[in-house]
Amino acid sequence: MDEAAETALQLVTAQLVAVAGVIHLWDSVPRLVTYWEAGATPDPLAPLSALFVLGLVAGLLAFVLGARRDLVYLYGALLMVGPLVGYVAWHFVGDLGGLLPGAFGHTHGGPFLAGLSEHMVADPVDFVSKVAELGALVCLSALFVIERGKRG
């Protein structure tokens, strides 16, 4: 891949990561403030979203400060898996498969793809977030492969 195409892929990736990060930050901060004021955290989504954003910032800093790019891309791709798997677990496994019984999550009892598409249509923010995360996962994986190819 030539340098211009790789730079374009990096820019698209950065934009997708930024969209995912802003959505998670926008979603988690008000809930974290509410939980802080109440002195309790009834569900783990807000703290996990905040940690996800901190992970994205750490990856960006590592990239800017000259860390090995293949490792930054790998770390970023693995980080993107978290909210994608978490979304499915929250909406379709219920109580995260018994990990936290009665605590949170729900199931729909119907086919997975129908339930997923129902959620994506019903909540445009979820749709944009999941598309950005999936797109970033694909782009980061491609950049990882490209960078590894350069290393030999």
User: For position 63, what pLDDT does the model report?
Assistant: 93
What confidence score (pLDDT) does residue 152 get? 72
Could you tell me the pTM of the whole model? 0.85
Q: What's the confidence (pLDDT) of residue 14?
A: 95
Contacts of 105 (CB under 8 A, 6+ apart): 89, 90, 91, 93, 94, 95, 96
pLDDT at 115: 76
132 band by pLDDT with thresholds 50, 70 and 90? very high
The single-letter code of the amino acid at 65 is L
**pLDDT given for residue 13 in this prediction:** 97
Distance, CA of 17 to CA of 150 (rounded, Å): 24
| Residue 36: Cβ-neighbour burial (10 angstroms; 0-12, 13-18, 19+) | exposed
Output the pLDDT for position 80. Answer: 97
Average pLDDT, stretch 122-141? 94
Question: For 9-51, how does the pLDDT look when each residue is reduced to its tens digit (9 = 90+)?
Answer: 999 999 999 999 999 999 889 988 998 888 887 777 888 899 9
Express each pLDDT in 59-113 by its tens digit: 999 999 999 999 999 999 999 999 998 888 777 765 554 455 555 555 555 676 7
State the pLDDT at residue 1.
73
**pLDDT at residue 120, rounded to an integer:** 78
Which has more confidence, 122 or 82? 82
Q: pLDDT (tens digit, 9 = 90+) per residue, 48-58?
A: 899 999 999 99
Rounded-to-integer distance, Cα 98 and Cα 93, Å: 8
